[in-house]
Structure 1
């Protein structure tokens, strides 16, 4: 399951709660919150304050403000409970005309809450901005900040929420292309027995949705539509709820509407399970697939995996050498062993800490990442100092590497570039 690290979050589709107090217009300033989807999920990472009537911004620094953020659980048995209540870390301040941009540490400020029901769900956010010193003739006690309700996220705004025709909702990015990337999320991003129809958790919990719509990804694939499903409850109900056929029908509907002729499938954890099941059920549907830490243990038989040899789909598997959630020996390594049997194999260990194995025909690959005491290591610049610092995440979260286009083949070809060859 894709749990969140503490404090992350907020999105352009979520609303802030705030209190408007009677104030003088001369001391009222509007503030706009912005969010980004980091490797660990969506966070509020910038606030833009419009000091329209202030003569000068001289003297304003990051110490001029206190930003309090509170997240309230908004669904489930813990609804109404405080998820976090903290003062955000202001890393730097930038001035543009009459506007001040406050850059907040990206390791804090999650817009999602991890529910007792084992799902990510948008929290109810309350932001309060306090001025810590006087501004010229204006006393700090008289200054109030009015926070706009809608939070802006430039990446998620590229997508639109679609109610499926066959029972599966999804987020869709229209690239005006004849190529389609289908993403299946992990178990933590599903709905809760179809009760919320939120259709956003799969876009906010990690970069598995928005990462395919970046400039780099779109340039590599020469334009590709993106379809990111949200399951009503869990992908493990694929058979009992007929989810395979429902997903197939939704994909075919989109394929006909946009005249799609090339399709890639990708998914992580439970989404890796679903990707595997879809290739087995529909061996002629997908041209290529990127399957990450697939949760197939006791879910997919060896006999079914072996049928994938007859599929037209080229496959790249990715996982950590260790994985506390899904045993690599029974998932990606098992799939690799079965599908590569009898073929000539090459391998390459990269200096960045992973080994890639591939068949001589280039159609099957496995990348295993080095782990560190049950963690994967990546480098982040959460405090905007232009220095990458090591951050350790759960060893299950190897989708981070994929969405960074990090894995390389034996010949040094990136995973996106490799997949794009089958999407021409």
Structure 2
């Protein structure tokens, strides 16, 4: 249920410079470039572009923010019907805030980016399908003024070739597919016998789209839910931990009882391959994944050392319909549980879901925020997973990551 906003990139040719700007110095220079991304709390954005200019010997004094223009176009990777609405497609110039050389001698163009900013995201949200998709990105770079080489010669780049999308946090998670066909991403710190954290995504990051679109990407790019546990701070708190993020073939609430064994299969495979400490397996998830976190602890009561469902669904999806998780199931949960939600969540109202679950789960903790605000920016009230990803929930002086790390099955 995440609203953001495959490495699907295409080649983009830069516009030629005026003849007067090309005639001196080296003509016909072509360079490749990399799109550098970062996952903000509201989703992934392209924050800079790196031009492969190391071989050209650029004089850094000749670099200015106005030396290049960066144009970005983002489009849906799958065909859409005329009446379908996708959020966060764009066709805009990206403001260049700074130009610099990195330690290799490549030019880095820093781009304006911020929470809620349109025109830099990597994901689009197809409204009627409730799904995020990786947008096809086409970046076009134009050099506006000649640069100088270290020996004073002018350098004009006449063509630019788009390369890969780089995000070190996301790229640290390997791509995998389970025996039953469920895709997942896995971060491992390289040590054996460590704990395992299972992150279960929201509805927006599932599959069940036309043309076989099942990307194994949006689970990490839509928010920092899984990435937070792979940060240096979290790894220090947990003493090093593997982090696994399965991706539903549709959405968890469609059929939790069917998905539970598939998730358990992934967990057991990771445990076996990486000698995970079986006493320290933790599960957390948001929205659809908050529901699935609770479902996993009702289905496998002896598997997890702790559970953190965020804005999880337990009530019926239809008025008067059966609960997704019954009161008896909630009352029977024995896994230590810490629930997180925001009072202004209109997508999954906390009273019938998080608060109701807290009232029934024996010994559970709950962090109930008034709204979702981080670094001065107010997010949609449904996005309370931001607080878990930032280790903000606390009880009795203990923060949620530390509480999780101390639990043993």
- Classify the TM-score, shorter chain: 0.7 to 0.9
Q: Distance in 1 between the 2:359 and 2:395 partners?
A: 18
Which of 278, 302, 308 is 1:290 aligned to? 308
Q: CA deviation at 1:55?
A: 5.1
The answer on whether the counterparts of 2:200 and 2:292 sit within 8 Å (CA) in structure 1 is yes
CA distance in 2, matches of 1:192, 1:273: 19
User: SS of the residue aligned with 1:102?
Assistant: strand
Aligned to 1:420: 405
Alignment of 1:182-201 (within 5 A): 182-192=198-208, 195-201=212-218
Normalising by structure 1, report the TM-score: 0.82
Indicate if the aligned counterparts of 2:182 and 2:262 stay in contact, CA closer than 8 A: yes
Alignment coverage as a number of residue pairs: 376
- Please list, as runs of the form range in 1=range in 2, the aligned pairs for 1:6-405 lying within 5 A after superposition: 13-19=7-13, 27-51=29-53, 52-54=55-57, 56-77=59-80, 83-96=89-102, 98-107=105-114, 108=117, 109-116=120-127, 117-135=129-147, 143-175=157-189, 176-178=191-193, 179-192=195-208, 195-239=212-256, 242-260=258-276, 261=278, 262-298=280-316, 299-308=324-333, 311=334, 313-340=335-362, 364-371=364-371, 376-379=372-375, 390-405=376-391
Cα distance in structure 2, aligned partners of 1:233 and 1:95: 44
Superposed CA deviations along residues 3-45 of structure 1, whole A, max 9, x for unmatched, are: 113xxxxx8x342432378997653333222111111111111
CA–CA distance in structure 2, aligned partners of residues 153 and 57 of structure 1: 25
Write the distance in 2 (CA, Å) between the matches of 1:55 and 1:77. Answer: 44
RMSD between superposed Cα atoms in Å: 2.6
Q: Deviations over 1:176-233 (max 9, x none)?
A: 3431111110000001258222111111111112221111111110011111010001
Question: In 2, distance between residues paired with 1:288 and 1:191?
Answer: 27
Q: Residues 140-167 of structure 1: CA distance to partner in whole angstroms, max 9, x if unpaired? A: 9x53242342121111111111111123
Tell me: CA distance 1:63–1:102, structure 2 relative to 1, closer, same or farther (3 Å): same
Q: Per the alignment, in what secondary structure is the counterpart of residue 197 of structure 2?
A: strand
Matches of 1:27 and 1:258, distance apart in 2: 47
- Mapped partners of 1:182, 1:14: distance in 2: 27
CA contact (8 A) 2:59 2:147 kept: no
What's the TM-score once normalised by structure 2's chain length? 0.85
Question: Once the 2 structures are TM-superposed, how far is the Cα of residue 138 of structure 1 from its aligned partner?
Answer: 8.0
Contact 2:45 2:113 in 1 (8 A): yes
